[in-house]
Amino acid sequence: MIRRVDFTLSSEQELIRESAREFCEREIQPFARDWDRAEELPRELVGKLAGAGFLAASLPEELGGGGLDSVSYTLLCEELGRADSSVRGIVSVSNGLFGKTVAKWGTPDQREAWLPPLASGEALGCYALTEPGCGSDAAALALRAERDGEGWALTGSKVFITLGSWASVAIVFARTGGEGPRGITAFLVPTDAEGFEARPMKGKLGLRAQDTAELSLDGVRVPDSARLGDEGQGFKVAMSALDNGRISLAAGCVGIAQGCLETSVAYAREREAFKRPIAGFQLVQELLAEMHVDTEAARLLTWRAAALADAGKPYTTEAAVAKWFASEASVRAANAAVQVLGGYGYVDEYPVAKYLRDARVTTLYEGTSQIQKLIVGRALTGESAFA
C-alpha cells in the first residue's frame, strides 16, 4: 500500500480535506449516480453547499466568505471532483469564475449586492463568455451593449453557460467598442431582467446533472453601475476569472483521477481471473501505476499554481499548465479505470463510467488543451499565436 505523504500540507489543511471528504461521502457520493441518470441536481443541495461554507470558501471573510487560501481551496475542489463533477462545478463557478471576479473587479456596492447572497446560497452567479459563434476566440464575441440614456441595452446570445438557468446574476461580456479584446466590457446582469431568457441544454455526454444553459438577451437594460470594471476592460476581467477557474478545475480533475485510482485498485484486488486477483497481473499494474503517477503529478502542478496565487505572484502560465495536464490526466485515468474494471467499468454500477464522461469536458472548457498549449508557447517564446 502506498502511504500518502503530503508533506507540504499543514495540519489545518489536512483537516479541511478530511471534513470536505466527510461532507462529500455523506451528501454527494451516495446520490451522484441517480442525479446523473435524472440529468438533474436537487436545488436543496445549494443550501447544503452554502451551509458547509463551500460556495464562497475562497472569498474574503468580510464579504461572507470562508477566507481559504488557494491551496486549501484546491483540496476542497479535489474532494468534490472525486465525489461528483457536476457539484464541483457549482462550487468552482461560485468561487472562481463569479465570486473572485466580482471581489477583484467589483465596486464596493457590487460586492455588497452579490457576494453575501452568494455565500448564503440565496443568489448564485454565472459567467457568460462563450457564444454560439465563438469559444476559443473569445475576443471575437458579438453580443452587443449599446448606450441607452444613462445605462446600457444588451442584445445577443451566449451558449454552454454553467448555472445559466439557476443563477440570479450573470457576468455578461459584451462588445461596447470596436473589434478585438479592447472593445469588450463586462456587466453584472440580473437574470430576471426584462428580455433575459435562459434555456437549459440537455443531452450532454457528461456533467449531466449540472445546469448548462443558452442565454438570450433582447435589449436587456442595465444601469451604468452594472458595469464590472472599466469600459473596454472586459477581456482582462474574463481572462483573470479563467486564471482562477483553471486552478479549481485542475483540482477537480485530480479528484476524478484519484477516484479512478482508488476504485481501480480496490476492484483489482477483489476481482479474480485465471485463478488469481487481476491486481497480480503486470499489465493491470501498469495501468494502475500510470494512473498513480498522473494523479500525483497533476496534484503537484495544481498546488504549485495555487501556491503562486497565494504568494501574490503571477500564475497565468502555471494555471494553464496545471489545467492542461490535470484535465488530460483525468481522461487518461478514467479511460484506464474502465479498462481495469472490464465490462463493469462500462455500466454505472461503479463510478468510473461517469468519471470518464465527466472528465471528457475538462479538456474543452475554460480553454481547450490546444489553447493551454498556446498560453505555454507564448510564455516560452514571447510570441502570441492568438494575435
Ligand X SMILES: Cc1cc2nc3c(=O)[nH]c(=O)nc-3n(C[C@H](O)[C@H](O)[C@H](O)COP(=O)(O)OP(=O)(O)OC[C@H]3O[C@@H](n4cnc5c(N)ncnc54)[C@H](O)[C@@H]3O)c2cc1C
* Residue 366: active-site member: yes
State which residue, 28 or 207, has the beta carbon closest to ligand X.
207
Q: Which amino acid is at 11?
A: S
Q: Are 206 and 359 in contact (CB under 8 A)?
A: yes
CB of 204 to ligand X, least distance (A): 6
Q: Where are the beta strands (DSSP E) in the chain?
A: 125-128, 144-148, 151-162, 169-175, 184-190, 196-200, 212-222, 227-228, 272-273, 276-277
CB of 164 to ligand X, least distance (A): 7
Residue nearest to ligand X (CB): 135
Distance CA 229, CA 104 (A): 9
Q: Which amino acid is at 146?
A: E
Q: Which stretch binds ligand X (CB under 6 A): 9-17, 37-45, 113-121, 365-373?
A: 365-373
State which residue, 316 or 339, has the beta carbon closest to ligand X.
316
Between vectors from CA 41 to CA 39 and to CA 46, what angle results, nearest 5°?
160
State which residue, 71 or 237, has the beta carbon closest to ligand X.
237
Instruction: Give the residue, chosen from 207, 217, 278, 356, that forms a contact with ligand X under the rule CB under 6 A.
Output: 207
CB of 48 to ligand X, least distance (A): 22
* Contact flag: residue 215 with ligand X (CB under 6 A): no
State which residue, 201 or 300, has the beta carbon closest to ligand X.
201
Mode of pairing for the β-strands spanning 196-200 and 212-222: antiparallel
* Contact flag: residue 235 with ligand X (CB under 6 A): no
Distance CA 319, CA 303 (A): 10
- Binders of ligand X among residues 125 to 184 (CB under 6 A) are 127-130, 135-136, 160-162
Q: Are 53 and 72 in contact (CB under 8 A)?
A: no
Annotated catalytic residue, options 39, 40, 366, 383:
366
Q: Which stretch binds ligand X (CB under 6 A): 104-112, 148-156, 191-199, 358-366?
A: 358-366
Binding-site size for ligand X (CB under 6 A) equals 20
CB of 156 to ligand X, least distance (A): 13
- Taking the alpha carbons at both ends of the chain, their separation in whole angstroms is 50
CB of 1 to ligand X, least distance (A): 36
Query: 120 to each of 16, 44, 50, 60, 386, how far by Cα in Å?
Result: 20, 12, 5, 14, 39
As annotated, the active-site residues are 366
The residues binding ligand X (CB under 6 A) are 127-130, 135-136, 160-162, 204, 207, 212, 361, 364-368, 370-371
